[in-house]
Structure 1
Amino acid sequence: MFSTLHHVCVVVADIDRAVRFYESVGIGPWHDYPPLTQYVDLHVPDRDAFLDLTYKYADLANAQFQLVAPGRGESPQRTFLETHGEGVFHVGFSVPDVTAAEKSSALPVLMRGRRTDGSGFTYFDTSEHAGVTLEIRQNRGSE
């Protein structure tokens, strides 16, 4: 389940400042992540806080690099930022079937979201043991 790296996601306090820095060292171009409202089946600690996250991503030759800035409300991303400062919040891996992969895992689920076609994500609560949250995702289209 953790064999195909999709992305690394860094939580930041100021996403525009972070984009400017990464562009200055040659990482980019940056794109807005599609609206999080695409996840119709959503199990997160605070739905409003999740929907207020801002994500941007850059496609690299071998993986995607993501930035996330927490908005209002309490989210695991905000908790990480307040506790640890900016840094790698999660590492994401692609799987062919996110629901089947989640069911086959004994890891505790932190958050999950699914689109109408069944694709989506599951974050596992691994940060205490691994220092980082692990995510699996089933891509759709050109993701």
Structure 2
Amino acid sequence: MPSPFRRLHHVCIVVRDLDATVAYYERLGVSPWFDYPKSSPYVELEVPDVEGSRAMRYKCVDLDNVQLQLCEPGPQDTPQRRFLDAQGEGVYHLGFEVDDLPAGERRGAELGLAVIARGLRTDGSGFCYFDTRADAGTVLEIRASA
């Protein structure tokens, strides 16, 4: 299987104040923003803190060539909260689109990548965050949409 990191879908930036950051981008002409579309529930969900995952707020904007996501973590223990507390605001992950999430996860395992968090829905959509910070400088995520 080829690398799952070939089709960039989005860049995710962790921020302290989601509303203020969106307002700043809007002043720059970057819009329209929308809430991250949380669709059907996950049938598999492995995250450090489920309530923390649910408490995160996201806003997205589709640019001409890529989606930009802003994430404001809640106070719970999540990888995004730890990143914000340790490093401040900045790029948390790069999200890549894959056609087959389980196959992408298997390929990540073959490449020796540890999983930070993952979720899968009945329709095959979902996400998988790999712990690539030490070598890639950021988290790499793969995602599949329905």
**TM-score of the superposition, structure 2-length normalised?**
0.91
The counterpart of 1:104, out of the listed 91, 104, 107, is: 107
Which runs of 5 or more residues in structure 2 are unaligned? Answer: none
The counterpart of 2:140, out of the listed 111, 116, 134, is: 134
Q: Which one is further off, 78-87 or 128-137?
A: 128-137
Question: Quick check: 1:8–1:88 contact (8 Å CA) kept in 2?
Answer: yes
Deviations 1:11-59 (A, max 9, x none): 0000000000111111111001123773331100111101110011000
1:18-97 correspondence to structure 2 within 5 Å: 18-35=21-38, 38-97=41-100
Alignment partner, residue 115 of structure 1: 121
**TM-aligned CA deviation for residue 116 of structure 1:** 1.8
CA distance in 2, matches of 1:18, 1:69: 10
| Structure 1 segments of 4+ aligned residues over 6 angstroms from their partners | none
CA distance in 2, matches of 1:104, 1:130: 17
Residue-pair matches, total: 140
CA distance in 2, matches of 1:129, 1:31: 32
Give the % identical residues: 51
Residue 126 of structure 1 aligns with an amino acid whose one-letter code is: T
Q: Secondary structure at the match of 2:13?
A: strand
Q: 1:69 to 1:136 in 2, by over 3 A?
A: same
- Root-mean-square deviation (CA, aligned residues, Å) is 1.2
Which runs of 5 or more residues in structure 1 are unaligned? Answer: none
Question: Quick check: 2:40–2:121 contact (8 Å CA) kept in 1?
Answer: no
Q: Secondary structure at the match of 2:116?
A: strand
CA distance in 2, matches of 1:45, 1:16: 25
